[in-house]
Amino acid sequence: MAHGLQIKDEESGYNKNLFCIPKHYEEDLERVFIPHGLILDRTERLARDIMQDMGNNHIVALCVLKGGYKFFADLLDHIKALNQNGDKSVPITVDFVRIKSYCKDTPTEKISIVGELSTLNGKNVLVVEDIIKTGRTMKALLSKLKDNEPKMVKVVSLLIKRTYRSPGYRPDYIGFEIPDKFVVGYALDYNEYFRDLNHICILKERAKEKYKSNVRLLE
Ligand code: HPA
Ligand code: MG
């Protein structure tokens, strides 16, 4: 079973004043939770593990937007480096999907997928996701993917949350296993804000008020 780097429930992260943070977010963040450098170091190792398992065939890397885009770009950079410097190399092609979910985190969760899945027929697909909380959205995506008969599907998620509501879904590769706290940065958002922040950080409660929106569409 896959294990990510475990971040304990009592981990409080780092003083944000010891890191570079965009000025426009300084007052909104409580602490730096996972520094950008650590994300990249862990991603480098995930790239190696993935290539060890999947590196014999053409890989279609499927980015789950929008939250997955930073992790996707950095993971693919590391995979390219392995392709450039190793004894073996495989072509990587890319595809993108966007997921809207309705009745989120309920047993009747439904998703709709924006993006073309029929091109995945017969391919080795690597789904690249930012965060998995209950696993329901991912299970729904995988079931739609399987309708298109890919040869193989593996899932890598940068983060998974330890939650007691989780029905037990675990991806094939995990970057970090984190407590059930709301995090932003490195393309993870709160109502579209904070994607433009390198470190994964914890929001202040009052920032949730400040950036509140009536529209809830995105994971
Ligand atoms: N941050 C951003 N998006 C999310 C989170 C989170 O902690 N959990 C599920 N989607
Ligand atoms: Mg996501």
Q: Is the dihedral of CA 126, 117, 121, 148 positive or negative?
A: positive
Answer yes or no: is pLDDT of 167 > 70: no
Answer yes or no: is pLDDT of 19 > 60: yes
For ligand 1, atom 5: residue with the closest CA: 182
Q: What is the pTM of this model?
A: 0.92
Decide: 136 in ligand 1 pocket, CB within 6 A.
no
Instruction: State CA 103 to chain mean position distance.
Output: 21
What value does the mean pLDDT take over residues 15-23? 97
**What pLDDT digit, counting tens, does each position of 69-113 carry?**
999 999 999 999 999 998 889 999 999 999 987 776 666 777 889
Decide: 183 in ligand 1 pocket, CB within 6 A.
yes
Residue 213 Rama label (left phi>0; alpha psi -120 to 50; beta): beta
Decide: 128 in ligand 1 pocket, CB within 6 A.
no
Ligand 1 atom index nearest CA of 189: 2
**What pLDDT digit, counting tens, does each position of 192-216 carry?**
999 999 999 999 999 999 998 755 4
**Bigger pLDDT: 119 vs 29:** 29
* Cα(184) to centroid(ligand 1), Å: 7
Mutate-to-test residue for ligand 1 from 70, 183, 199, highest number of ligand atoms within 8 A of CB: 183
